[in-house]
């Protein structure tokens, strides 16, 4: 076993899968490529990792250069390294995932970036992307759906003040399912993650809903405590199994 001849002759990239919630719809942020290969194709915002930066660092830098987003939390999901996934040679890519609320961020492509523009796309409208980005997106979507049942991630996707119905719709959109209103409220309120603002919607043509905000301190506790969420209303007989 020797050092391969092509040692130090490979490249790695990061690709960011940024999910957003807007208008009752789960979206993902794509860029249109400004260079070959896949010129003009849409793909995930991703680019090469520099030699002097860490992976996560690179993911944040690339995301900002290509879409203008800063201050999003990125989480490493999986690394894709099939041969032939990049026409320029052996390129391995590390996929990062984030969940943000669309309204909070203004998209802005830097001049020197490899992107012509950045836009949000509804998940259901996406069929083909540059490279193997569709596969990466699908993997991240699976992860998101599993994740959402274990951590209260959904909150990141709503405005600072929201109604319980909005929160429920969010979960229904991500999980592509329907939930029972009363049970949803019971659960969510019992978690003490919400702050009751004692304010109400205005100018709605129906009984106005109470507004809530999200208790960030309490959220931190949840994450560190390894709490287990569970969306359920479950299909199967024996749901929570041990061992």
Partner DNA sequence: ACTTTTAGTGTGGATATTACACGAATCGCT
Partner DNA sequence: AGCGATTCGTGTAATATCCACACTAAAAGT
Positions touching DNA (CB under 7 A) are: 163-165, 180-183, 185-187, 200, 202-210, 230, 232-234, 237-242
Tell me if 193 sits within 8 A of 156, measured CB to CB. Answer: no
CA distance 96 to 77: 6
Instruction: Enumerate residues 6+ apart whose C-beta is below 8 A from 34.
Output: 113, 114, 115, 116
Q: Which is nearer to a second copy, 84 or 198 (CB)?
A: 84
Closest CA to 61 of 110, 12, 9: 110
- Tell me which of DNA, a second copy, none is bound by residue 216, counting a contact when its beta carbon lies within the kind-specific cut-off of 5 to 8 angstroms: none
Q: Which is nearer to DNA, 56 or 210 (CB)?
A: 210
Residues 179 to 218 in contact with a second copy, rule: CB under 8 A:
183-184, 187-188, 190-191
Tell me if 160 sits within 8 A of 213, measured CB to CB. Answer: yes
CA distance 121 to 142: 17
Q: Which is nearer to DNA, 116 or 165 (CB)?
A: 165
Residues 3 to 42 in contact with a second copy, rule: CB under 8 A:
3-4, 6-12
* Per CB under 8 A, 224 contacts a second copy: no
Instruction: Enumerate residues 6+ apart whose C-beta is below 8 A from 219.
Output: 152, 155, 193
- Minimum CB separation of residue 130 from a second copy in Å reads 16
The residues that touch a second copy, with contacts defined as CB under 8 A, are 1-4, 6-12, 47-55, 65, 76, 78-83, 89-90, 92, 94, 110, 112-114, 152, 154, 167, 171, 183-184, 187-188, 190-191, 225, 227-232, 236, 238-243
């Amino acid at each position: 076993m020797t050092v391969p001849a092509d040692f130090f002759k490979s490249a790695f990239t990061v690709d960011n899968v940024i999910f957003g919630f807007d208008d009752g719809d789960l979206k993902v942020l794509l860029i249109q490529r400004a260079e070959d290969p896949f010129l003009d194709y849409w793909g995930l915002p991703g680019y090469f990792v520099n030699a002097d930066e860490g992976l996560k660092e690179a993911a944040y830098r690339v995301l900002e250069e290509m879409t203008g987003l800063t201050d999003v939390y990125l989480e490493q999901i999986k690394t894709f390294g099939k041969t032939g996934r990049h026409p320029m040679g052996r390129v391995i890519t590390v996929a990062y995932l984030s969940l943000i609320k669309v309204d909070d961020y203004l998209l802005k492509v830097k001049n020197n970036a490899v992107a012509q523009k950045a836009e949000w796309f509804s998940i259901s409208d996406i069929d083909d992307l540059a490279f193997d980005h569709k596969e990466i997106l699908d993997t991240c979507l699976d992860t998101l759906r599993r994740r959402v049942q274990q951590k209260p991630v959904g909150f990141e996707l709503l405005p600072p003040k929201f109604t319980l119905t909005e929160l429920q719709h969010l979960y229904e959109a991500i999980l592509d399912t329907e939930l029972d209103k009363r049970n949803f409220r019971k659960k969510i309120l019992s978690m003490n993650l919400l702050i009751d603002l004692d304010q109400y919607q205005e100018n709605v043509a129906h009984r106005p809903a109470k507004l809530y905000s999200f208790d960030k301190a309490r959220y931190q506790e949840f994450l560190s405590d390894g709490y287990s969420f569970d969306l359920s209303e479950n299909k199967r007989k024996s749901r929570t199994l041990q061992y």
